[in-house]
Amino acid sequence: MKPKETAAHYILSSSPHTHSNSSVSRIMLDVILALLPTTAVGIWFFGMAAVWTIAVCVSTCIVTEALCRLAMKRENTIGDLSAVVTGLLLALNLPAGIPLWMAVVGSVFAIGVAKQVFGGIGMNPFNPALAARAFMLISFTGPMTTWLKPICHCKCSAEAGVVDALTTATPLAAMKGMFTAEATASATPHAHKAIEQIPSLWNMLIGNMPGCIGEVSALALALGAAYLIWRKVITWHIPAAFIVTVFVYSLIAGGAPAYAQVLTGGVMIGACFMATDYVTSPITAKGKLIFGFGCGLLCMLIRQFGSYPEGCSFAILIMNAVCPLINRWTQPKPFGAK
Amino acid sequence: MKTVKSPFKFSGGVHPDYNKELAREQPIERMPLPAELVISMSQHLGAPAKCLVKAGDFVKRGQVVGEKNGFISVCVRASASGKVKAVEKRLGPAGGKADAIILDTAAKPEGEQEPENGPILQPLDWKTASREDLLKRIEEAGICGMGGAGFPTSVKLNPPPGKRCEYLVLNGAECEPYLTADYRVMLEKAPRIRLGVEIMRKILGGPAVRIAIEANKPEAIKAMEAAFADIDGNVEIVVLPVLYPQGSEKHQIYATVGRIVPEPPALPIDVGCVVENVGTVAAIADAVELGEPLLERVTTVSGDAVATPKNILAPCGTKYSDLVAFCGGEKTPPAKVISGGTMMGFAVSTLEISTTKTTSGLLLLSPKRVTQYVSQACINCGRCVRACPMCLNAAEIAKAVESDDIKAAEDAHVMSCIECGACSFSCPAYRPITQFCRRAKNSIRARMAAEKAKAAAAAKK
């Protein structure tokens, strides 16, 4: 019996012939899931204003991504969910109550300019959400630094249920003054006033303080970060290096309590969700540690000496620019290489 | 003899689905002699053997039909008696074509007497035989590494002057998914492996022996412990953590001895080690003690598209279609057929390919088990870098090759790549990183060969 030439058409491909079943969209979904706690806290404290900002940013990012891909005659990539992540991250980094058209402009900038102009996912040198936030901070300085007071959910207070109480001071602004105040005289009335403006540790942990929608609750952010580390989406290196640097710097520099420097402003969301963006952060563990350290250091230098009270976004953006250099310094040593 | 846990863990590695339960409990089964064998002249690493027969010739089982052709080469013997129908180029598992003998195993020369049942080669007493005789026996038996690469064993067991083998490492890791051939050999032929070890120890001047087995094969560990219980000298069974690619030569040396083989062109012998697959060791015992050359091997036929997965002892040159038929045929039409395992094996286009001395497995996968991906942009997640057992920046190499910058890939040490597939396996953007590395390596090798030829030509002038 002579077997005939098989007519079957077997799939041919280079090995390996099996896959871990990881995917970009699953990773992005994990990031979205990890952001849900802080999103919920943001909505709890800032109400419908937060809901609208988030909805507008996410939908604008998706539409912009689709239109850009169409215009560039490339395949549609909204299915990888990266545009949703960018939109959500941008919204969480905006003050609730920002005029919605500004949120639209910011979202179009994030996807159109910061991401697609460079070729889309994987190609952008800067974190799109942060680039958009920096763009908005410079273009719309007033609205970008006008904060809603968190909604007071306790019945006892006179302000209970008040939604749109405006304030222009975040704890950070007060803490900035403390660097110099403490240097001159620790007991000046100015310093006293500043200390009073720092929320209690509990309020900082749960997020009961003025700030961007998604940056206020350290606990919710830590929960999300723990989920990402458990899912192996991120490693601990960048968040740890970032936060430890901020903490140690503020211990040395004095001023506001070191834990307050970590728990206020964008340090938590920046360290766990913005600086850990794959595309714009180094690839090796060593590189990630350097990157996190640089972010923390620059953030504190800007907080102490810069003209903005908050330095987190700019710190990460500057480190994004340095990232290719860090990658070059920190090439892994091949097994067996001298 | 003692059993120890591996104290050294290499960095990187992945955990593919092993799927070994499909064929693990199937004892080695000898299949009936197929009507036709296709015996390739290129069953090993190095120069193909020179074919010594022509169409119409009658050959005897064990007769040398392909002559060793160069230093890195081995001879090929007829795996069965029969009539040479043709000598022609045939497709091999890796995609290349090589001379092959098409053998009709039913044809007998007219008026032939009963075939003699004596041994093909004169059995040797390994205790009294000289080292040279033993080496010569391994060479004339046509033995090459049966783990996959097929490096000529007699060359490996004869270190160049100035190099000494301090450790003989037995590779029983079998980290490739689906494959259970080595496992069954360890289970069923442990005494043969022990004899092979004693012969190799004599040839190599008494090195310490490390038997490396992954922790997910407790029965094999037990069988080897029993077989080696009363052996003297420095012999250890090293239980390795279950991690792909634990069976890689370099990683095995690190896991068992703690030594690191330098970058290519360095070889294990440069750190005083020789690694040999357990199947090869058993073949050495047979060649020396029984005078039986390497004519057949155990191949795992598995996958969800094959009716009954089996571990088959088949003559080298058996067609894949015959192996599948012996397993009861196909359960469902396979979408992909793989020669070897799912991590490093070759996808083949037809079952009209034949086994060689290195065919450890044949997998038939149903469409359910086969996914075709569209490669996306690299998101720099670093999974490939963390997965790479050679600690290479696989993402950067892939990007360099994608933009045809082979020099950048070379600077990123692509030549150290062992093509284990861990990077592609773990890439969430489905990038064919391993393939990019192969492309770079081939292109660098071609350039090196061209430079060498140019230099030789210049030297001639």
Put simply, whether A1 touches B (Cβ < 8 Å) is yes
Residue to mutate among A6, A11, A17, with most B CBs inside 10 A, is A17
In degrees to the nearest 10, what's the CA dihedral of B255, B271, B422, B179?
-70
Q: Report how far residue B12's alpha carbon sits from residue B380's, in angstroms, rounded to the nearest whole number.
A: 17
Please indicate whether, in this complex, the C-beta atoms of A17 and B347 are within 8 angstroms of each other.
Answer: yes
* Mutation choice for A interface testing from B10, B104, B373, B379 by most A CBs within 10 A: B379
pLDDT in tens, A68-109: 999 999 999 999 999 999 999 999 999 998 999 999 999 999
Complex ipTM value:
0.89
- 3-class SS of residue B306: strand
Q: What SS3 class is residue B210?
A: strand
Measure B132 CA to nearest chain A CA, in Å: 33
Question: Do A136 and A182 reside in the same domain of the chain?
Answer: no
- Reported as a single tens digit per residue, the pLDDT across B186-230 is 999 999 999 999 999 999 998 999 999 999 999 999 999 999 999
**Is CATH 3.30.1370.110 the classification given to domain B1-34+145-370?**
no
User: Helix B190-204 to helix B278-285 angle, to the nearest 10 degrees?
Assistant: 80
Q: Rounded to whole angstroms, how far apart are CA atoms A300 and A296?
A: 6
By C-alpha distance, the chain B residue nearest A281 is: B380
Q: How far apart are CA A133 and CA A90, in angstroms?
A: 7
Q: How many CA atoms lie within 13 A of B416 on its CB side?
A: 24
Cβ contact, residue pair B262, A281, below 8 Å: no
The per-residue pLDDT for A186 is 47
Tokens standing for residue A99: 């005029």
Minimum distance, in Å, between the CA of residue A80 and any CA atom of chain B: 10
Q: Both A95 and A192 in a single domain?
A: no
A307 touches chain B (CB under 8 A): no
pLDDT computed for residue A195 by the predictor = 60
d(CA A295, CA B229): 59
**What is the spatial distance between Cα A316 and Cα A291, in angstroms, rounded to a whole number?**
9
Shortest alpha-carbon distance between residue A62 and chain B (Å): 18
A218 and A111, same domain (yes or no): no
- pLDDT at position A160, please? 47
> Is residue A12 in a domain?
no
> How far apart are the C-alpha atoms of A34 and B167, rounded to whole Å?
50
Q: In angstroms, rounded to a whole number, what is the distance separating the alpha carbons of residues B42 and B40?
A: 5
Neighbours of A176 (CB within 10 A): 24
Residue A199 shares a structural domain with residue A313: yes
Phi/psi at A308 (5° precision): -95, 150
Domain count, chain A: 2
Q: What is the DSSP letter of A200?
A: P
CB neighbourhood size of A263 (10 A): 28
Q: pLDDT tens for chain B, 461 residues: list them.
A: 889 998 888 999 999 999 999 999 999 999 999 999 999 999 988 889 999 999 999 999 999 999 998 889 999 999 999 999 999 999 988 888 899 999 999 888 776 665 666 788 899 999 999 999 999 999 999 999 998 788 999 999 999 999 999 999 999 999 999 999 999 999 999 999 999 999 999 999 989 999 999 999 999 999 999 999 999 899 999 999 999 999 999 999 999 999 999 998 899 999 999 999 999 999 999 999 999 999 999 999 999 999 999 999 999 999 999 999 999 999 999 999 999 999 999 999 999 999 999 999 999 999 999 988 899 999 999 999 999 999 999 999 999 999 999 999 999 999 999 999 999 999 999 999 999 999 999 999 999 999 999 999 998 87
Closest CA to A59 of A97, A116, A111: A111
Judging by DSSP bridges, how do beta strands A147-148 and A166-167 pair with one another? antiparallel
Tokens of B24: 């693990």
User: Which 3 state secondary structure label does DSSP give B366?
Assistant: coil
Residues A127 and A180 in one domain: no
CA distance A117 to A131: 13
**Given CB atoms, is A202 within the 8 Å cutoff of chain B?**
no
Cβ-Cβ pairs closer than 8 A, A with B, add up to 169
* B141: closest CA of chain A, how far (Å): 30
Tokens representing A65 are: 């991504």
Domain of residue A318: give its range.
171-329
Residues (pLDDT < 70) of chain A are 1-8, 154-169, 180-197
Question: CB-based contact (8 Å) between B432 and chain A?
Answer: yes
Q: Which positions 248-287 of A are in contact with B (Cβ < 8 Å)?
A: 278-279, 281, 283-284
Domain regions of chain B by residue span: 1-34+145-370, 383-460
Query: In this predicted model, what pLDDT tens digit does every residue of A318-336 receive, in sequence order?
Result: 999 999 999 999 999 999 8
Is A322 found in the same domain as A188? yes
H helix intervals, A72-121: 82-92, 100-108
